[in-house]
């Protein structure tokens, strides 16, 4: 068995924990361990913004590959045109 750790919960959180654990037929300690394990896995998986969207990178094909080239100059021209209207 692992080490013992004390955790302070509000009365409402404790009530929800006990109710949920009972419904799932597990002890409160098992429910807490499962929740902590799940939280740790999600925290590790989403370590960086790039990691969060890794499955999307390279997922869009087509379009103008030069679309972002010279963007600053295009924005500057647009701003001048708006100002002169």
Give domain limits for the chain.
Answer: 12-37
Average pLDDT over every residue of 9-27: 96
- Under the banding of pLDDT at 50, 70 and 90, the label for residue 19 is very high
CB 32 within 8 A of CB 17: yes
Rounded to whole angstroms, what are the CA distances from 49 to 15, 27, 53, 56? 35, 36, 7, 12
> Model-level pTM greater than 0.85?
no
Of residues 85 and 46, the one with the higher pLDDT is: 85
Please say if the pLDDT value at position 26 is more than 90. yes
Q: How far apart are CA 83 and CA 85, in angstroms?
A: 6
pLDDT value for 3 = 92
pLDDT value for 2 = 85
3-state secondary structure of 28: helix
């Amino acid at each position: 068995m692992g080490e013992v750790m004390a955790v302070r919960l509000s009365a409402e959180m404790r009530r929800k924990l006990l109710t949920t654990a009972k419904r799932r037929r597990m002890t409160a300690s098992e429910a807490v361990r499962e929740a902590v394990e799940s939280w740790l896995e999600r925290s590790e998986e989403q370590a960086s913004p790039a990691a969060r969207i890794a499955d999307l990178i390279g997922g869009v094909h087509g379009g103008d590959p030069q679309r972002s080239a010279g963007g600053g100059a295009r924005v500057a021209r647009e701003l001048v045109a708006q100002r002169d209207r």
